Amino acid sequence: MQKKKHLLSDIWDSYPELLPLQSINQQKIDISKIIADILAIGPFYYYTVNIGNYSLSQVSEKILDIHGLDKFPESLQNIMDLIHPDDLNFILQAEKASIEKIKEIGIEFQLYLKSSYCFRMRIADGSYHLFHHQSIHLGKDEQNRLLYSLNIHTDIQHITTKNNHIVLVSGIGKRKDYFQIDLSRSQMAEDMPLLSNREREVLFLVANGDGSKQIASKLFISELTVKVHRKNLLKKTNTVNSSDMIRRCMELGFI
């Protein structure tokens, strides 16, 4: 497939040590296990990107209903065309910031790192909703350059309409990295509570809809300990229930 330029082309092409400049035959990737572990707290869809030519594959059927499309998008630019024009500049900054952070951590670890941030997208009725974007790296070549990326877009309009302008780069699998990159014009330190690694793990599972008993089983801790962590999360975020806590943590860029 011919390489089609898109909004992020210039940024991606400026990192040849991380991203290939030409297409490589795409291998079939089973993403079912990855999808089962993502944060999906609303309507979502996914697609994989061939970094070499920016083509899309394994596109979820849900994208048609959510965005009111009559055919599947074929290139990344088709996705970019759905984004609110006022958010495009932020996306450029966010993508550059996430790539720079991955370089800082080490490109050899990029298959164990996930980046996420938020932006508005046009939905089926013509209005714009806030979406949570997650990017997970799936494969790399012998030079550690990224070949494929799994992108997941979740409609979070029912949770919050406020874009925190925070890029989150976090570890998956064997990596425990957790970096928040604040791209907002003003940073309000007093609104950023400090969460422990265990509290973040509990928060993620709560956001995915797990109850205290399920969380205890997954984290190999007691149910009482889970309840203590949940209580601390409510206190640190100054919220009164789980849904309010999730909304606040989305605004703060914790998830």
Q: Pinpoint the residues of the chain covered by CATH 3.30.450.20.
A: 9-182
Question: What local confidence, expressed as pLDDT, does residue 80 receive?
Answer: 93
Helix (H) or strand (E) holding 181: strand 178-182
What pTM did the predictor assign? 0.75
pLDDT in tens, 204-243: 888 888 899 999 998 999 999 999 999 999 998 888 888 8
Q: Pinpoint the residues of the chain covered by CATH 1.10.10.10.
A: 191-252
User: How far is Cα 151 from Cα 45, in angstroms, rounded to an integer?
Assistant: 8
Helix (H) or strand (E) holding 118: strand 113-122
**In the predicted model, is pLDDT for residue 187 greater than 50?**
no
Domain range 191-252, CATH class: mainly alpha
Model confidence at 134, in pLDDT bands (50, 70, 90)? very high
Domain range 9-182, CATH class: alpha beta
- The DSSP 8-state label assigned to residue 3 in this structure reads -
Coil, strand or helix: which one is 169? strand
User: How far is Cα 105 from Cα 117, in angstroms, rounded to an integer?
Assistant: 19
pLDDT in tens, 63-90: 999 999 999 999 999 999 999 999 999 9
